[in-house]
Amino acid sequence: MSVELPFQISIPDSKLDLLRQKLALTEFPDELENTGWNYAKLNQDLPQFTKDIDVNGFETLNIHYVHQKSSLANAIPLLFVHGWPGSFIEVRKILPLLVQSSPQFPAFHVVALSLPGFGFSEGAHKPGFAPEQYAEVAHNLMLSLGYHEYVTQGGDWGYLITRIIAHKYGGKHSKAWHTNFPLATPLNFSVNPILFLQHLFTPYTAAEKAGIERSKRFEKEGQGYFHEQSTKPQTLGYSLADSPVGLLAWIYEKLATWTDSYPWTDDEVLTWVTIFYFSRAGPAASIRIYYEFIHSANGSQPSSFEPTIPLGVSHFPEELRITPRKFVHSVGNLVFQVEHSTGGHFAAYECPDELVDDLREMFGKQGPAFGVVPGKNGYEQRIRANL
């Protein structure tokens, strides 16, 4: 059995010195001068560990993850899965909220892994490591921690990975899933004739119309990164690995344009970006998932994964692609859906209170997914005295 080892972020002085030398030769944007990286704060806020996880057909990978249990023994085990250009840091704001116990809402035991090749997780050493393998790593990590029944939350790549988990391990292990990045194809008469006919006679809401226009703009103006990372990741990787300013520009553009006017501070941006710069496998490793996704046998067709376990969805208006509400029914067994007036792509970081409230509502006593994990409903068990 793999041993859980405590982990703290520690960057060698030699690497920091090299970074300073490279930055000294660069004309840095004025607003980002004289800033630093506060990893000690991350170590204080996030209990981190590493564990060896086996992957079928591939080598064993050493996986970095955040793991915090609620003080409530029967809290709901929740797996949080990030995307790109995110990392385990996306769980930072929601973690203390999720583990809270209260008579008013459910508590969660939280696991947030660094996906292979991201952050401080080891990257795959052989080609063909596609989204299904990322899902296997995440699932096996939960099993190794003793969470044989759990729920999931994810956006971006986390959406696809948790969808695969819900499809492959749903029912027996994965009991419900929630996403803030639902991707769905238009309704098809042959697949769901009733919903299709309802859609024909139901006009789009104002929010859906705005979302469709935003999706069109993103398809036209914002897809360059995807095409590059999914076709020539190694070419781009040389620049990302060698140039800290190039990496900063590549990621900061997404942080600025994929959010709903989130007021990024210099420290937030630099901490976010330097997790990539000092990542265990290097910045190039994190973008290879795009190539493997496009070139895998069925990974590029999310619709091939059809979960039946309960699905919850949170919609944020400045998401990259906005799926009309009616279409979400084609994704799976939709039991919970809520629409927010603000928020963008990085919901857990931009809107932590709203996202946590949605999870509490979905899995709470009045929610449609209450009690999906047997014996762990997130509330304190009251023992009745025998009279």
pLDDT of residue 201: 63
> Annotated catalytic residue: which of 315, 329, 340, 345?
345
Q: What is the token pair recorded at 233?
A: 């990741």
Residue 267 a catalytic site member: no
Is the pLDDT score of 34 beyond 80?
A: no
Q: Are 50 and 7 in contact (CB under 8 A)?
A: yes
Residue 30 in this model has a pLDDT that exceeds 70: no
Report the chain's mean pLDDT, rounded to a whole number.
89
What local confidence, expressed as pLDDT, does residue 37 receive?
Answer: 46
| Cα 62 to Cα 77: distance, rounded to the nearest angstrom | 22
Question: Does the predicted TM-score (pTM) go above 0.85?
Answer: yes
Q: Which of 65, 262, 290, 379 is catalytic?
A: 290
Q: Is 291 a catalytic residue?
A: no
Lowest mean pLDDT among 177-191, 210-224, 239-253, 319-333: 177-191
Q: Which tens digits make up the pLDDT trace of 97-113?
A: 999 999 999 999 999 99
* Domain limits, the chain: 5-27+37-363
Phi-psi region of 301 (alpha: psi -120 to 50; beta: other; left: phi over 0): beta
Q: Length of the chain, please?
A: 387
Q: Is the pLDDT of residue 28 over 50?
A: no
Specify whether the CB–CB gap between 114 and 92 falls below 8 A. Answer: no
The whole-number pLDDT of residue 190 equals 60
Each residue of 263-318: pLDDT tens digit? 999 999 999 999 999 999 999 999 999 999 998 876 556 667 889 999 999 999 99
The residue with tokens 């420290």 is: 267
Q: What angle do CA 350, 351, 356 make, to 5 degrees?
A: 135
Is the per-residue pLDDT at 47 higher than 50? yes
Q: Catalytic residue at 290? A: yes
- pLDDT average, residue stretch 37-58: 88
Cα-Cα-Cα-Cα torsion 367, 114, 5, 41, nearest 10 degrees, comes to -90
Supply the DSSP symbol for 170. B
Does the structure show a pLDDT above 80 at 149? Answer: yes
Residue 387 has pLDDT above 60, yes or no: no
* Of residues 276 and 19, more confidently modeled: 276
d(CA 355, CA 76): 16
Q: Choose, from 109, 156, 159, 315, the residue flagged as catalytic.
A: 156
Pick the CATH number of 5-27+37-363 from 3.40.50.1820, 3.40.30.10, 3.40.630.30, 3.40.50.300: 3.40.50.1820
Residues 6+ apart with CB under 8 A from 83: 154, 155, 156, 157, 158, 159, 181
One DSSP character per residue, 286-338 reads HHHHHHHHHHSSSTT-GGG----SEEEEEE-TB-SS---GGGGGGTSEEEEEE
Q: Do the strands 48-53 and 310-315 form a parallel or antiparallel pair, or are they unpaired?
A: unpaired
The bridge status of strand 333-339 relative to strand 174-179 is unpaired
Amino acid 384: pLDDT = 52
